[in-house]
Amino acid sequence: MHRTPQSIRGIRLLLSFKILFLLALSGCGKASPSASTTSEAWDRANDPLNLGSQYEYRLNMLPAAAQVSLKPWTDTYWPSNKGGLANRWVNGQTGFSYGLLDRQTLGTLNQVQLASLSPAEKFDILNSRYDYPLASLERNRTKPTDQNWFGLCHGWANAAINYYEPKSVLVRNADGLTIPFGASDVKALLTYYQGQVANSPQRLLGMRCDANLSHDPNAALSPQCRDVNAGAFHVVLANQIGRFGRAFVADVTRDAQVWNQPVHQFSTTVVGYQGVSPGAAPGTVQEVVVDTIMGYTVEINPQWQATNNTASHQDSAKSYRYKLELNTYGQIIGGEWLTSDRPDFLWTQDHAEFTGYYANLGPLYSASVASPGIEFPRQ
């Protein structure tokens, strides 16, 4: 499926990508081999050990289809040109279009007006910080001229994997102000914390392609733009989803734009078997051609209520064809893409503890998970 930058499903990977890229260069896995001189064997950046050390590599021992038991939740990517978490999504006021309210004024607002504040404002009020440090930080981080696809999707994709879906909840701050949080308000804070604040371990498979392949097709031959090795991709997909039941994040576009999505489902069909092709990984004795459908969650507009198992939840899928190169033990040791569409890189980030200014996000999150959900306040 082609997506334009205007799509709310576009992915935006900001500063944290630099950290991920450095992880790839340093080699996160144990005993990863040096870069291969052959075409289809994986190199250090594409070694499945970068994501997991307990993987099964024998094709006949890997599941052909699976899905995780708890589907990642969906939400917006909090676009930068609307002010990120400072966006008052309920009433459509961007983060740049309103004045911040003092404590006295807040005391005069009704529940509808409080519910319409931005996620950043609500969290600052929860912390009894009427100087609004988070809302101000978001206004400084973003600007209305930012490209439509800039935002916090890198934080959303991992937050959706690492945390149970929040629900709308009513909480009170230390000054007695009662604040209605919509499900997307809590999701926004988890997204921001996971993507912008958390220092939890990250793991990367593959390298980012920075080129615009429609303008420079020859760039597709560079190591970065050959994208994640097809054999390594299958090893990770079948192990993470099929054996461990763990979702992971994939950049589903192969060139300059980065669209992170939480992958939670796949199915693979064997198309045929063939001999060894030129450039195959050393030790290859057989090649298996497969078709794989990879299912993942995509973004939607923010919602007051939780969306999993409702018509509001949105998923999408990609179809890929590729060759798997097997050694004499039936282990996958390489692969080659047969479709031009393929993921650029795969990655994960661990669950992060809430500390510092964001310590109150822990109790808020716990309350939202336990909440039965609240209706949007009425006048």
Kind and range of the H or E element at 120?
Answer: helix 119-126
pLDDT at 277: 94
pLDDT at 44: 86
Token reading at 145: 């001229």
How far apart are the C-alpha atoms of 193 and 199, rounded to whole Å?
Answer: 9
pLDDT at 357: 98
| Domain limits, the chain | 16-33+40-74+205-349, 80-199+355-370
Per-residue pLDDT of the chain (379 residues; tens, 9 = 90+): 223 223 323 333 333 333 343 333 222 222 233 333 345 688 888 899 999 889 999 999 999 999 999 999 999 999 999 999 999 999 999 999 999 999 999 999 999 999 999 999 999 999 999 999 999 999 999 999 998 889 999 999 999 999 999 999 999 999 999 999 999 999 999 999 999 999 899 998 876 555 444 444 443 444 555 568 999 999 999 999 999 999 999 987 764 456 799 999 999 999 999 999 999 999 999 999 999 999 999 999 999 999 999 999 999 999 999 999 999 999 999 999 999 888 888 999 998 899 999 999 999 999 999 999 999 998 7
Amino acid at 202: Q
pLDDT at 39: 52
Helix and strand tally (H, E) in the chain? 9, 10
Nearby residues of 153 by Cβ (< 8 Å), 6 or more positions away: 10, 11, 12, 13, 77, 259, 260, 299
Token reading at 350: 């661990």
- DSSP lists the bridge partners of residue 297 as 315
